A and B are shown apart, each in its own frame.
Chain A
Amino acid sequence: MNRTRVSRRGVLKGAAAVSVVGLSAPFVRGAHAAGKLAVGFWDHWVPGANSALTKLCEEWAAKEKVDLTIDYITSQGNKNLLTIAAESQARSGHDILAFPTWQPADQAKNLEPVDDIMTELIKQNGAVNGTVEYLGRSGGKWVAVPATAGSQIKGPCSRMDLLKQHAGIDIQAMYAAGGPPKADAWTMDAFLTAAQKCHKAGVPFGVGLGQTSDSVDSAGAFFQSFGATLIDAKGNITVKSDATRQALDFYKRLIAVLPADVSAWDDASNNKWIVSGRGSMIMNPPSAWAVAKRDAPQIAEQLWTHGMPSGPNGRYAPFLPYFWGIWGFSRNKTAAKSLLMHISQPSAAEKMVIASGGYDLPAFEKLTTFKTWAEVGPPKGTLYHYPNPHNHQTLSIAAAPAPPKIAAQIYTQATMTKMAVRHAQGEAMEKTLAWAESELEGFSRS
């Protein structure tokens, strides 16, 4: 095995060179953790964002004299899920892995509980939101630490010029930087009307309906805005409800004005849609904007990240948290915990937010006030509303509040987007619901 890899892409952009050496690593204080540690983080989609994390880890490794190996594992093609499954079966591999959304709960019995770290971090950085708790705790124990790197909100990102021109909506005024949103008129109906107008103008909205996380997350938020839950917290199948019918009906009308092949979109398709200049809106974290800034600057200047439209049940934003977990089979758990503590410090979180151009979202309450979001551009302030600074929308994950093990399958099987597509392609409402019910029964088996 090789030693720690050197950071991939140059130095960290304008990092505040705050030293973290002063912060203690409580679990190994006074002694070298030493030994070996292999970690697998999520391979970031924002160019250059991995380097901040690498640097933080290397600092820690040098201080603790640990032989550290860092791998960045992509979620493209679900390679990270494959690695998680492989290592949990082979009971060897890395010590720490990045676990997306449902994986901590799914692997709970193979993970080392981290209550000690979480108690400390919550004391230090403030509480975490309900979704993080729902996903990261299992059987009354924290099984993973919410990660800054990779956690994201997939709210709408719109072309200001096209929305103004074709739909008569001034999204920049609605979600002005520096103040609370004035978005009362931003409802599902307004969203649909805007989508229809933009479609007519030849620049359709690009809401994915494939089976990867971007599409599933969007569908989850829309379903929740209508109050449609497939399975409730107790595990009862509740798909046959008027709320679900409303949501499907909404989607049917929306799909009619989306590009023809949205049902085959993956996580990259929406980015390509907006970067190519053919679309007026997508649902994505700021990586699309970051890439546009590099490859198509004239388009980036017109992009504005804002909040979700509200539905009958409220305003829900698609939120996808990542976690860092320690495998139960790890042979260096002390060092692993020390490293997780180190990279969860406020200064560490801020560095990750800066390096990712505002993409990463810390889960703790006191860590949502970094300046980056207000400052990056052009256009300046485009990310101000990205981290939900005024709490005007509920951050939720698709398939919640079902018991995590069932929800995980609803999520990976993309049941909601499939329902939307089936119904939109002409399948009768009740038939779609019956199909969904039979799928859900399948997921509920133990």
Chain B
Amino acid sequence: MVDAATGTMGVGTRAAARRRPGLFQRKSTIAFLMALPLILIIALLVLYPALYSMHLATLNKSMERFVGLGNFEFLFKRETFWMVVQQSCIFAITAVLFKALIGLFVAHFVHAIPNKGQRKWRGMLLVPWVIPPAMSTLAWFWLFDPSYSAFNWLFALVGIDPVPWLGDAYWARFSVILVNVWYGAPFFMIMYLAALKSVPEQLYEAASIDGANWWQRLWYVTLPMMRNIILITVLFSTIVTFANFDIVRVLTAGGPIDQTHVFATWAFKLGIEGGDIPLGASVSLFMLPILGLGAIFILRDINKRGNEA
């Protein structure tokens, strides 16, 4: 389609265009055409609906009257809303932190063992990330089940009282974060492992000659070399974790008494199940500016570093 059209154009006019000042312009036209499908997808299926949602967020419940920022005003007065904000932050920050730490540790261990066995270990450790989360969460749900929990069965063997995995607010938050960490850590592991492998061996040798210990090598060689990839994975994971829907939805649906709701599940509850679409849209929109600013700063930082390198 686009390729073919621009292709013939490129071939046919190249000789003539070489000496003309119009060349630059033509090149940019081709480039624009090549990027056009991408632009269309983003504009039509992401930007337009997003703008439409912003419009929805300014309407009243029955979507008949313009209320401006009335929905936000209403939300800001609600105890539950601030609880959801707090929970989303706890959920995303804790989960990303543990995913990154576990990913880094596991990557380190895999990197430390002989090359021969690495493939096998990597394969095993990547499994959680490969299973669709809606399905693996079902397994967790069944492991946590009040009547049939396999964990509690093991605990009973050693005389520990059954744990209300999803029944108590703190345990439920723990469980939801645990499942998210379980699902996401392998992605960090694989990214960090690849990054570790791209650190030139000479740097370590040089550091060893300078008398650096293990910790110093990690701090002064490994981490700076992995800086970009750590930033990118953390950024990507933070965005995705803040928007997480399936894990909370399948595991707790927000309960008990709303204490595990995150933005996506609460917006769904308000908008779809409660029939207040504008309010749901407002909840979804709340995080956008904050995350957006963070993302822009990190991306700019990475670009700057990338250009220096």
Contacts and interface: CB of A to CB of B under 8 A. Distances in A.
Contact present between A and B (CB < 8 A): yes
B272 A81 contact: yes
Given A211-B253, A273-B147, A421-B256, A263 B275 contact: no
B275 A264 contact: no
Given A421-B257, A422-B257, A272 B147 contact: yes
Interface in B36-75: 60-62, 74
A92 interface: no
Interface string B220-255: 000000000000000000000000000001101111
Q: DSSP class of A's interface residues: helix, strand, loop or mixed?
A: helix
Contacts of B250: 77
Interface of B: 60-62, 74, 78-80, 145-148, 162, 164-168, 172, 249-250, 252-258, 269, 271-277
B194 to A, nearest CB: 37
B62 A266 contact: no
B255 A413 contact: no
A35 interface: no
Interface in A186-237: 209-212
Contacts of A261: 146, 164-168, 256
A413 B167 contact: no
A278 interface: yes
Nearest to B161: A260
A412 B257 contact: no
Interface centre among B61, B78, B162, B275 (most CB of A within 10 A): B275
Nearest to B260: A264
A210 B256 contact: yes
B239 to A, nearest CB: 24
Interface residues of A, number: 39
Given A211-B255, A446-B61, A78 B273 contact: yes
Interface stretch (A9-17, A121-129, A437-445): A437-445
Contact of B255 (A259, A264, A442): A264
B78 A438 contact: yes
B249 A77 contact: yes
Given A264-B167, A276-B147, 4 more contacts: A89-B277, A212-B253, A262-B167, A272-B145
Contact of B164 (A106, A264, A422): A264
Contacts of A422: 257
Contact of A412 (B74, B147, B148, B269): B269
A27 interface: no
Given A82-B272, A409-B275, A438-B79, A260 B257 contact: no
A409 B274 contact: yes
A264 B250 CA distance: 12
A210 B146 CA distance: 13
29 contacts: A77-B253, A81-B272, A82-B272, A85-B272, A106-B275, A209-B256, A210-B255, A259-B167, A260-B162, A261-B167, A263-B256, A264-B252, A265-B167, A266-B253, A269-B147, A272-B146, A273-B147, A405-B275, A418-B257, A418-B258, A421-B256, A421-B257, A438-B78, A439-B80, A442-B74, A442-B78, A445-B61, A446-B60, A446-B62
Contact of B275 (A211, A262, A408): A408
B275 A265 contact: no
Contacts of B80: 439
Interface string A260-284: 1111111001001100101000000
B148 A272 contact: yes
Contacts of A445: 60-61, 74
Interface centre among B80, B252, B271, B272 (most CB of A within 10 A): B272
B148 to A, nearest CB: 7
Given A210-B256, A264-B256, A412 B146 contact: no
Contacts of B258: 418
Interface in A356-400: none
